[in-house]
Amino acid sequence: MAVNRVPVLKRCRSLGLDPIYLGIDKKSNRNLNRASRKMSEYGLQLREKQKAKFIYGVLEKPFRNYFDKASRMSGMTGDNLMILLERRLDNVIFRMGYARTRREARQIVDHKHVTVNGKVVNIPSYLIKAGDVIEIKEKCKSSQRYKDIIEVTGGRLVPGWLEADQENLKGEVKTLPTREEIDVPVNEMLIVELYSK
């Protein structure tokens, strides 16, 4: 399995991204002077794609598959792409506040701590549907890890399309998200332009 080992803050700096979108409260102390360099149109498109891949922790081939799937769906391809990425199980765990970062959410799913509609799911890319009930397994709920996580994420705002019960580590997907409800700083139209060349 391919693992991205680039330091997170360094990657955030190079993409011009605030680490808060990844669930990280740290700030980089370095300030980069990149205003002097003008970026080409292709460079801007590529950066938006890399931003989306980095935020959601998706590698190139699965990302391309998401794009192909989004282009076959009805509606705007860019909006569909963002909604597909947002529906990933690891992202939903992160959004509900049961993980500090998406990477941690991915690990929680990998370790079989999560059930969807009562069945254990250990696939981070599993696409959730409206009405799905997502829960941390009963025997894992009492562990210190989740107490620490809830302490950190307790004040985090849960999106309107999700319902989360932080005490019981259980939540429900009320509806599928719309593009307006996704607060990720990615211009998906540039990604569509990049792939449609």
Beta-carbon contacts of 166 under 8 Å, excluding residues fewer than 6 positions away, are 97, 150, 154
> Is domain 88-176 classified as CATH 3.30.420.40?
no
Compute the distance between CA of residue 158 and CA of residue 78 in angstroms, rounded to an integer: 23
Looking at domain 8-85+184-195, which CATH architecture does it have? Orthogonal Bundle (1.10)
Domain spans, the chain: 8-85+184-195, 88-176
> 96 and 134 in contact (C-beta within 8 Å)?
yes
Instruction: Give the SS3 label for residue 194.
Output: helix
Give the pLDDT band (50/70/90) at residue 24.
Answer: confident
pLDDT of residue 153: 83
> pLDDT tens across 56-86, in order?
999 999 999 999 999 999 999 999 999 999 9
> 66 and 85 in contact (C-beta within 8 Å)?
yes
- pLDDT top residue among 164 and 29: 164
Write the DSSP assignment of 36-93 as a string of letters.
TSPPPHHHHHHHHHHHHHHHHT--HHHHHHHHHHHHHSSS-HHHHHHHHHHTBHHHHH
> pLDDT tens across 31-51, in order?
655 555 688 999 999 999 999
